[in-house]
Amino acid sequence: MSPTAVSARPGPPGGPAPSGPATPFGFPRRLDALHADVLREDAGGPPGRRVPSPDGLVLLAAADRDGSSPGRFGLACRPATPEELAVPAPAREAFGAGLLALHCDLVEHTVRHALDHLGARTSGGADLLSRQLVQAGLADAALVLLEERAGGPPAGRDALGRAHLRLVAAGRTLLRLLGASGFLADGPGGELHAAEIAVNVYAHPGSEG
């Protein structure tokens, strides 16, 4: 099996600009696409396979993402099948790198959403983007993104986990700026929570050793 490599840390996504308050990023769907990309070249493998976590779990998109029924936040989790446990290390590494890129893209999407959302909110006669506290928070999140994308591929699972944790922190910074709207399950809050679950399953720093 020769899995398709997924670029470790791409620049801004080339597809449609993921900005605007009503534009979902679609983390669960993109996670499934990542599974498929990584395993695409293994034509002989059984259909529906996913890449397993180091602890033998599989996280995948669920049909229902309304936050109240099975598939909460658009994700489902199950034990890996024997065929999935046989997915070779290069494919798992490609998946890990792809998940980091996906996380970066989601944080960028959230930065753009925050710019739109906070630019439309006013307080004291000025939009919230004019507030230094808000500007600093957005800048901090953007700086984390710049740094993560500038780095080379993380060396080992610990480094990968640490990179994700920095992105988790950046995402939380953005959600705090969004106030209560950052807590909506059908907005960036729900998507970032799904990403944090994926990080917890696939890229926990304690997975090494």
Minimum CB distance to other proteins smaller for 40 or for 78: 78
Nearest to 116 by CA among 189, 178, 176, 196: 178
Question: How far apart are the C-alpha atoms of 138 and 75, rounded to whole Å?
Answer: 28
Provide the minimum distance between the beta carbon of 11 and other proteins in the complex, in angstroms, as a whole number.
28
How far lies 178's CA from each of 20, 25, 27, 82, 131, in Å?
A: 13, 16, 19, 43, 13
Minimum CB distance to other proteins smaller for 88 or for 183: 183
Minimum CB distance to other proteins smaller for 33 or for 165: 165
Question: How far apart are the C-alpha atoms of 33 and 24, rounded to whole Å?
Answer: 16
- Residues making contact with other proteins (CB under 8 A): 53-55, 57, 62, 66-73, 75-79, 120-124, 133-134, 137, 165, 168, 172, 175-177, 179-186, 189-190, 193, 196-197, 200-201, 204-207
Provide the minimum distance between the beta carbon of 175 and other proteins in the complex, in angstroms, as a whole number.
7
Question: How far apart are the C-alpha atoms of 159 and 176, rounded to whole Å?
Answer: 26
Provide the minimum distance between the beta carbon of 10 and other proteins in the complex, in angstroms, as a whole number.
26
